[in-house]
Amino acid sequence: MSRDRRDDTASAPSGAAHFPELIVKNTREFLAGFQPSGGNGGVFCPTRRNITVGEMVAVKVRLGRRQPPMVVYGRVAWRRPGRHILKIRAGIGVEFLASERAKWEYLLDLARAGASAHSRRRHERIPVDLPISWRPVGKLEGFSGHLRDVGRGGAFVLSSATVAIQERVVLEIAPPGAEVPMAFIGRVAWTGHSGSENVFGIEWRARDAGGGRRIKELVRRLADLQTPVRE
């Protein structure tokens, strides 16, 4: 993969919802195309689309029919034309952003485990780049962070602050169109690191029907912003 480091920031790039989308259809395609070289990891995406080297893209990876896809951001590092006679597939080599390490390591572990491992996710996640504030339940001090993806089951958060697994937290999120932030309670399901930043996964803990409705409304509003580019 390319060794160009450009401005790979810790949060999802501005305008992420409008990046060209590439598809990795299954576990076999992901394992065959994964490339650990270049520092940040990357993947080969079979496609004939004309996307410029250096352009930001969103790679949607699906590992099995029952696994919800995960979106990983990166830059086009190189392009390869197809050669039908030689049975060489056309495609694009994508180098992931440094901030996406936790995602691709999770996907790689899951893919290598094969049928013996199953993701706990039941709902598809929506990629976003939304500033939020959060705090442990019962604490007054809050921290800033970025919401990187969200679904009806949980969310993926990046923050400079640390948090413990199983900690219950309050996330204050202001989706587009909202006059005031909406508060959501969740449990920290896992933690990790992405460069100099901390990342953690949230499982929603709605205490009542109203909480469940707010989660659905949040996901709906953010989904309305998505304009996927089809393969």
DSSP 67-93: SPPEEEEEEEEEEE--BTTTTBPPEEE
Express each pLDDT in 23-82 by its tens digit. 999 999 999 999 886 668 899 999 999 899 999 999 999 887 666 788 889 999 988 887
With a pLDDT cut of 70, the percent of the chain lying above it is: 79
At 135 the pLDDT is 95
Rounded to an integer, what is the distance from CA 163 to the centroid of its chain?
A: 20
Average pLDDT over residues 2-29: 65
Q: Which residue has the higher pLDDT, 150 or 123?
A: 150
Residue with tokens 């993926």: 156
The one-letter amino acid at 92: I
- Architecture of the 16-116 domain: Beta Barrel (2.40)
Highest mean pLDDT: which range of 20-24, 33-37, 109-113: 20-24
Q: What is the mean pLDDT of residues 158-168?
A: 91
d(CA 209, CA 211): 5
Under DSSP, the state recorded for 24 is E
Residue 167: what pLDDT? 93
Would you say domain 126-224 falls under CATH 2.60.40.10?
no
- pTM equals 0.53
14-41 as b/e: b if 16+ CB within 10 A: eebbebbbbbbeebebbbebbeeebebb
pLDDT at 225: 67
Confidence tier at 207 by pLDDT (50, 70, 90): low
CA atoms of 184 and 137, how far apart (whole Å): 11
- Cβ atoms of residues 134 and 181 within 8 Å: no
Name the residue ranges covered by the structural domains of the chain: 16-116, 126-224
Q: What pLDDT was estimated at residue 226?
A: 57
Is the confidence at residue 9, as pLDDT, over 50? no
Give, in order, the Cα–Cα distances in Å from 27 to each of 44, 104, 105, 137. 13, 13, 14, 38
How much is the pLDDT for 130?
85
Range with the largest mean pLDDT of 8-12, 67-71, 180-184: 180-184
**Positive or negative torsion for Cα 168, 169, 170, 175:** negative
Q: Which residue has the tokens 């999770």?
A: 106
Q: Binning pLDDT at 50, 70 and 90, where does residue 152 land?
A: confident
pLDDT at 201 over 80: yes
Residue 2 predicted with pLDDT over 60: no
CA distance 53 to 75: 8
Q: Average per-residue pLDDT in the chain?
A: 80
Whether the domain at 16-116 and the domain at 126-224 fall into the same CATH topology: yes
- Strands of 16-125 (E only): list them: 21-24, 34-35, 42-46, 56-61, 70-80, 91-96
pLDDT value of residue 13? 56
What CA–CA distance (Å, rounded) separates 173 from 169?
13
